[in-house]
């Protein structure tokens, strides 16, 4: 298949799956393995930057408030959520990089499936915070969860939302915070990747036009996916995503 079509498809997949609890990076690695795409980590980070822009467009009011009030409670909570993520990622970095080869992918899909199903069962009748605001405890728990969700196949949004719900968070606010808390991590990943490219650690062989097309598609589809997920949050049953991930995990054992 043409590299243009593959990257076009990857852009759509990234945009649609980044904001669903099914691991966009896992899907990208799977596609990369199926079509022998090298430097899947570079493509994954690039497309995550595209969906980062989607988050900024949709939540620009919330983000602008954080920028305008850098010492507000909301900003401090975002920082507190980011710190444990950074620590965990730095410790696990060698394993994380090797995981983009796809060896752990089936297991990670199944781990995500189990987490989603467990959360659905435990929170089905649980009374959550009525205030709606994310508190410090919930933010830190979600930050820790985000640190372990950097492996492809383990859904970042799914893991952080599950962590927030299990900590007693409100569904809508937990989902929104899950999206916003990805911003610092994606930015840091982008800086690290640019550094590796500039220092000669990575060689990029993709046609520029194909990369740009994939980026734009991921950005546009990401905007629609965020709005869809925010509306779906109140009614969504995580077990359906769990079933999908379990079947995908089992299938992945036989295709990579």
User: What single-letter DSSP state applies at residue 118?
Assistant: H
Distance, in Å, from the CA atom of 147 to the CA atom of 139, rounded to the nearest integer, reads 12
Distance, in Å, from the CA atom of 128 to the CA atom of 136, rounded to the nearest integer, reads 15
Distance, in Å, from the CA atom of 182 to the CA atom of 160, rounded to the nearest integer, reads 10
CB 89 within 8 A of CB 143: no
161 CB-near residues (< 8 Å, 6+ apart):
21, 174, 175, 178
Closest CA to 59 of 232, 150, 180, 169: 180
Instruction: Enter the tokens of residue 19.
Output: 């904001």
Instruction: State the residue for tokens 């199926």.
Output: 34
User: According to the model, what pLDDT value does residue 94 have?
Assistant: 87
Q: Helix, strand, or coil here: 236?
A: coil
HSE (side-chain half, CA atoms, 13 Å) at 106: 9
Residue 35, CA distances (Å) to 14, 30, 31, 101, 255 in order: 16, 9, 6, 13, 11
Give, for all 256 residues of the chain, the pLDDT tens digit: 688 898 999 999 999 898 889 999 899 889 988 888 766 667 778 888 899 999 999 999 999 999 999 999 999 999 999 999 999 999 998 898 888 888 899 999 999 999 999 998 988 765 444 445 789 999 999 999 999 999 999 999 999 999 999 998 888 889 899 999 999 988 888 787 777 767 765 566 778 898 899 999 999 999 998 888 887 766 667 889 999 999 999 999 988 7
Instruction: Enter the tokens of residue 244.
Output: 């999908």
User: According to the model, what pLDDT value does residue 186 have?
Assistant: 86
């Amino acid at each position: 298949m043409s590299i243009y079509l593959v990257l076009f498809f990857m852009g759509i997949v990234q945009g649609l799956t980044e904001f669903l609890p099914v691991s966009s990076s896992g899907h990208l690695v799977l596609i990369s393995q199926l079509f022998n795409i090298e430097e899947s980590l570079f493509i994954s980070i690039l497309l995550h930057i595209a969906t980062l822009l989607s988050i900024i467009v949709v939540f620009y009011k919330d983000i602008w408030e954080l920028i305008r009030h850098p010492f507000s409670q909301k900003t401090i909570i975002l920082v507190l959520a980011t710190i444990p993520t950074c620590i965990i990622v730095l410790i696990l970095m060698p394993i994380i990089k090797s995981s983009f080869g796809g060896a752990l992918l089936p297991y990670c899909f199944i781990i995500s499936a189990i987490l989603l199903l467990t959360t659905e069962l435990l929170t089905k009748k649980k009374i959550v915070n009525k205030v709606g605001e994310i508190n410090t405890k919930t933010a830190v728990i979600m930050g820790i969860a985000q640190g372990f969700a950097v492996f492809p196949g383990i859904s970042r949004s799914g893991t952080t939302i599950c962590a927030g719900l299990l900590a007693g968070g409100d569904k809508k606010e937990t989902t929104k915070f899950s999206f916003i808390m990805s911003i610092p991590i994606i930015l840091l990943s982008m800086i690290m990747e640019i550094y590796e490219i500039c220092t000669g650690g990575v060689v990029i062989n993709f046609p520029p036009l194909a990369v740009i097309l994939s980026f734009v598609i991921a950005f546009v589809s990401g905007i629609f996916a965020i709005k869809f997920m925010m509306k779906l949050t109140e009614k969504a049953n995580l077990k359906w995503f769990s079933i999908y991930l379990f079947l995908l995990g089992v299938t992945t054992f036989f295709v990579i």
